[in-house]
Amino acid sequence: MSVVTNTTTIGAIEAPSRRNTELFMLAFAVAIPVFAYLNVGLALDGKVPAGMAGYGLGLGLLAGVAHLVVRKFAPYSDPLLLPLATLLNGLGLVLIWRLDQSPRLIQRAKYLFGGFSPDAPKQLLYSALGVALFAAVLILLKDHRILQRYTYISMAAGLALLILPMFFPAVNGAKIWVSIAGFTIQPGEFAKIVIAVFFSGYLMVKRDALALASRRFLGLYLPRGRDLGPILAIWGLSILILVFETDLGTSLLFFGLFVVMLYVATERTSWIVFGLLMSIGGAVGVASFEPHVQSRVTAWLDPFSCYKTDATGACQQIGDSLISFGSGGTLGTGLGQGNSDLIGFAANADFILTTVGEELGLAGTMAFLMIYALIVERGVRTALAARDPFGKLLAIGLSGAFAIQVFVVAGGVMGLIPLTGMTMPFVAYGGSSVLANWALIGILIRISDTARRPAPAPAPSSDAEMTQVVRP
């Protein structure tokens, strides 16, 4: 068994597939949300909720299908990623269903939009579509290295996805949505994956140039001027996103993703230093003239300052959110018994973590954060285990993006950093988010399957992979 625990060992021949572990964990990942569902029903109506069997079967079915697909198409993949994602998705559904029954939110929706429709059924549909996308990724993508062929197509697609929202009207001050034929899509969620593919492909080719052609100055490796081009371009792009879409979160996510991958590809600490300086400079610079970003920063610095001056404004959100976390205390009020719906705006999307904070308390929130941390950990482990640089870069890119997103959203909601318009992966309401994150997990599972698959022949050296580079 000692061979198995060391997943970095490339020649782990005869590694157990771990599919039964996954199935066992999946049973928990379905049982816990069902129990939570029951808990909400009992707290709100005092009786076992009518939809419980349907919900349990639905979630069980999704998990079962996903498991069978993994068993068939990625038998050696990481056994924890799927249960963790299922658990988060299932708990997210329960939280959304709980908020659907909030009289305050129903009243608010009727007042603002003239009607109310529950979000949980829609989210269940999105989850089904997400699992379908997950299955499609595993079935169609036989080897993640195929993605390498699409490096520059990915770049074009990523840019398009990022730029697209600029041409659509702002929603709540941020331009991160695209609405087509009644559907609203958050392209940033998908761009995250596509851009990670592009960075992996690009950096795999350029890493030597970026890493070696540099001068040493004050203990730092300074890159050549012309090698600075790409990072400057990406920096410029993220600044443009910040200016034109006024979305600090997306901007931070892409720049952070790039810096992380650049560092991994080149092993040069100087990139981190540069990245930090540039992102701080950019953020401060933009905040000095962009009122939307400014108001977010002001609200972050003093969350309770605006209650007196602007009692109805959006700047109260962060103060309300902090109060919600504090009111939960250590163990929380219990599901269905809190008042996190007082936030009103995006209670089941951007601010869904406040419901966790208030109703499940410090303990529940820590558990949620640990689940996210575990997903990131499995992703990083996959990157360590991957045998090819492209796979390593892609895995670390995807898990890094996931970690940064969780940090940006949770940190924003908890007042650690200024608030941004992003969603908690898997938990928050929203089709784009659920679909994109299931696809992300699908790709990570694919990479981990390739990484842990018993080598058919003596392990090739990693340089051998380099010969496969696709001509641009």
Residue 182 phi, psi dihedral angles, 5° rounding: 85, -15
Stretch of 78-86, 230-238, 372-380, 421-429 contacting another protein, by CB under 8 A: 372-380
- Is 365 a binding residue for another protein by CB under 8 A? The answer is yes
- Is 152 a binding residue for another protein by CB under 8 A? The answer is no
If phi over 0 gives left and psi between -120 and 50 gives alpha, with beta otherwise, what is residue 81?
Answer: alpha
- Is 17 a binding residue for another protein by CB under 8 A? The answer is no
Tell me the C-alpha distance between 442 and 192, whole Å: 14
- Is 8 a binding residue for another protein by CB under 8 A? The answer is yes
Asked if residues 253 and 401 have their Cβ atoms less than 8 Å apart, the reply is yes
Tell me the C-alpha distance between 472 and 470, whole Å: 6
H helix and E strand count, the chain: 19, 4
Asked if residues 419 and 411 have their Cβ atoms less than 8 Å apart, the reply is no
Residue 428 phi, psi dihedral angles, 5° rounding: -70, 155
Q: Which of residues 259-288 bind another protein (CB under 8 A)?
A: 260, 263-265, 267
Q: How far from each other are the two terminal CA atoms of the chain, in whole angstroms?
A: 43
- Is 376 a binding residue for another protein by CB under 8 A? The answer is yes
Tell me the C-alpha distance between 144 and 155, whole Å: 17
For residue 63, the minimal CB distance to another protein (Å) is: 25
For residue 212, the minimal CB distance to another protein (Å) is: 15
For residue 323, the minimal CB distance to another protein (Å) is: 5
Q: Which of residues 86-115 bind another protein (CB under 8 A)?
A: 103-104, 107
What is the total count of residues that contact another protein (CB under 8 A)? 52
Binding mask 42-71 for another protein (x = CB under 8 A): ------------------------------
For residue 245, the minimal CB distance to another protein (Å) is: 23
Query: Closer CB to another protein, residue 231 or residue 342?
Result: 342
Stretch of 52-60, 124-132, 159-167, 381-389 contacting another protein, by CB under 8 A: 381-389
Return the H-helix or E-strand segment holding 107.
Answer: helix 103-113
Q: Which amino acid is at 4?
A: V
Query: Closer CB to another protein, residue 177 or residue 407?
Result: 407
Query: Closer CB to another protein, residue 8 or residue 468?
Result: 8
- Is 326 a binding residue for another protein by CB under 8 A? The answer is yes
Coil, strand or helix at 212: helix
Return the H-helix or E-strand segment holding 222.
Answer: strand 220-223
Query: Closer CB to another protein, residue 45 or residue 285?
Result: 45
Candidates 33, 357, 418, 442: give the one binding another protein (CB under 8 A). 357
Helix axes 269-287, 291-301, angle to 10 degrees: 100
**What is the number of other CB atoms lying within 10 angstroms of the CB of residue 324?**
25
β-pair type (183-185, 220-223): unpaired
Candidates 116, 294, 339, 459: give the one binding another protein (CB under 8 A). 339
- Is 10 a binding residue for another protein by CB under 8 A? The answer is no
- Is 329 a binding residue for another protein by CB under 8 A? The answer is yes
Buried (b) or exposed (e) across 98-108, using 16+ Cβ within 10 A?
bbbbbeebbeb
Return the H-helix or E-strand segment holding 416.
Answer: none
- Is 323 a binding residue for another protein by CB under 8 A? The answer is yes
- Is 319 a binding residue for another protein by CB under 8 A? The answer is yes
Tell me the C-alpha distance between 16 and 157, whole Å: 38
Candidates 372, 426, 429, 438: give the one binding another protein (CB under 8 A). 372
Residues forming the site for another protein (CB under 8 A) = 8, 103-104, 107, 260, 263-265, 267, 304, 307, 319-320, 322-323, 325-330, 339, 342, 357, 361-362, 365-366, 369-370, 372-373, 376-377, 380, 383-384, 389, 392-393, 396, 399-400, 403-404, 406-407, 410-411, 414-416
